[in-house]
A and B are shown apart, each in its own frame.
Chain A
């Protein structure tokens, strides 16, 4: 029974991890850049949902639905204002620029949240309170609804990427921006859309994490580390890899911390399991589980 409960919890947490990691992966895949402010964008999503649901007292489902377009526009705005012009100018050392600018953006957002919302822990209301019981198996309502919404969002994203014209355009740019441009795909627009979707995914993850793990200005930091672990584990830019990687990390964290023979220390190593997994993958399969080996011209 304990095994089943642990597995259920790991799957629920894994689905939420997947949502968060997919955003990072999509941005890397299409824009070929690492968004170091991913954790803070998650935090923005957490606060946005909190403000809509608690301060403005909108119905919870409407708050969540309303945060989607706001987050998307926020992402597009960030891409337009910080990333586009240097890319168009083919700036020298663009990669280093991106690292610095996204890193700075993260610090800025975190320090902006401090005076605006205060350093307190906030609790956003979950879509469903209480808990679900199946025999001895208990799953908290906030987790279950969080996972279901995340599952739905991931499903919509996959449909969008693999079945729609725009989604195929995104994947074309991810494979080869040059070739995509030749067949008439507007690469710049695709980059903006990808960044917007990536930030939306992070933000929705934040909105769903908020009721479970509380909202505060630093909430994104530990999740961002997990997202990086997942993305490298699954293969940089691989959609399938991010989803599988998220479940692997959640299962390893959940079981790693109860199967260790000395229970008094097991929990202390919880975050270490993910990093150990990362080291092993990098040693034996540097491209990640589903990543392609890098081809250099």
Chain B
């Protein structure tokens, strides 16, 4: 009798204990981290999330992953490292996600990879460019966008070839911004080009004193790099334009952050945005892939605009994680990391994604080395990035050289 009672109680415990677990077993949770409020780059974060959501919808329409429904758990990091850490802890310990993707701020990504490394959970970085993110050498960390050394060494070569003589860089005081300054200094100084650099807090709103100083410099500054994200990036362009400094017939300006790629850019910068240079890590349809066409169609149907580089990265991030889950047939961290490293070879929206295993140079570890990068230039107001003139790489260039503004 006692035995029966015990069995009954045990059975009850098992059933009750398993009830929520069985429910949880029917969904596969993937964490998405992105800046969705200021001082982070909000439009960047939202594009990332939109791309990721389309990927999850597609996966679910096709029957989910390993027979389970895919659920994205989205965490807002506000572009602040401490928030990134907290969000990651919550995703891993409370929401029990199997993997994490996203992020668009390097300082935050650097905080997040520490958590991922500690728990052995794979994290695919969508849009954080500081070298150190992958250079740390954590096996759990993958990146399917460019890093500063990869893009700005090329941009620096382009600047040299285009004949610019004095480059000024104003960068934000973050891992990404300071990295931008460093890479330009290293690459351009070696080529004999004068580089003047300045760094500032990310919250700075008035760049006028520094821009005036640069405008009065000898030899004259003919290329200005705006190494800010969020409001700062747009304000610097606007203020440089108002002072008649850049973009002007004497000085070009490159908006290195991603805030130059969204409709909000035109709403806030207005006519100051014409002739601005930008460097997207992807343009819809270049190179043309099947996934790119499909994604562009779904994105347009949902948001009524063409996808930007970050939205494509968000989509690719979730899909790459899905590929790894399918390949390893499990959700266990180590197996996923191994699958991402060895088995993922997937044609995404911007080309075939495959992660590098070499550790020299350090930043190349777990990077997608063939990520497409462009230097584009807006030629009229309210232009979308894919309609802008492509200056570089030569393979895709639509104009011969940098277009000098008439004024």
Contacts and interface: CB of A to CB of B under 8 A. Distances in A.
A68 B404 CA distance: 44
Number of chain A interface residues as a range? 35 or more
A122 B200 contact: no
A2 B39 contact: no
Interface stretch (B144-152, B262-270, B298-306): B262-270
Contacts of A268: 173, 198-201
A216 interface: yes
A267 B196 contact: no
A240 interface: no
Interface string B197-222: 11111011111111011001000000
A255 B206 CA distance: 13
Interface in B232-259: 234-235, 239, 242-244
B36 interface: yes
A131 B199 contact: no
Interface residues of B, number: 37
B39 A140 contact: no
Contacts of B170: 267
A121 B209 contact: no
Nearest to B244: A138
Give the interface centre of B173, B209, B230, B267 by most chain A CB atoms within 10 Å.
B209
A9 B209 contact: yes
A140 B242 CA distance: 6
A213 B212 contact: no
B205 A120 contact: no
Contacts of B243: 131, 138, 140
| B interface majority secondary structure | mixed
Contacts of B235: 213-214
Contacts of A217: 37-38
Interface in A81-138: 114, 119-123, 131, 133, 138
Give the interface centre of B38, B216, B235, B267 by most chain A CB atoms within 10 Å.
B38
Nearest to B233: A121
B209 A214 contact: no
| A interface majority secondary structure | helix
A1 interface: yes
A182 to B, nearest CB: 47
Contacts of B38: 119, 121, 216-218
B209 A213 contact: no
A185 B203 CA distance: 44
B210 A121 contact: no
B323 interface: no
Interface stretch (A31-39, A186-194, A257-265): A257-265
Contact of A5 (B36, B197, B205, B212): B212
A213 B204 CA distance: 10
A150 B40 CA distance: 30
B208 A9 contact: yes
A203 to B, nearest CB: 18
Contacts of B231: 121, 213-214, 216
Nearest to B76: A119
A222 interface: yes
A263 B267 CA distance: 32
Contact of A265 (B36, B199, B206, B230): B199
B112 interface: no
Contacts of B173: 268
Contacts of A141: 242
A218 B201 contact: no
Interface string B354-374: 000000000000000000000
A288 to B, nearest CB: 25
Contacts of B204: 267, 270-271
A13 interface: yes
Contact of B206 (A13, A133, A142): A13
Given A2-B213, A258-B210, A267 B200 contact: yes
Nearest to A225: B203
B198 A264 contact: yes
B69 to A, nearest CB: 28
B42 interface: yes
A114 B173 CA distance: 25
Give the interface centre of A5, A213, A267, A268 by most chain B CB atoms within 10 Å.
A267
A123 B210 contact: no
A200 interface: no
B43 interface: yes
Q: Which 7 A-B pairs have the closest CB atoms?
A: A140-B242, A267-B200, A123-B268, A119-B42, A213-B205, A218-B38, A119-B37
17 contacts: A1-B216, A2-B216, A6-B209, A9-B209, A119-B42, A120-B264, A133-B244, A140-B242, A142-B242, A217-B38, A222-B205, A258-B213, A264-B197, A267-B199, A267-B210, A268-B199, A270-B201
Given A141-B242, A266-B210, 18 more contacts: A2-B212, A9-B209, A121-B230, A122-B268, A123-B270, A131-B244, A140-B239, A140-B243, A214-B235, A222-B205, A253-B209, A254-B209, A258-B209, A265-B199, A267-B199, A270-B200, A270-B204, A271-B201
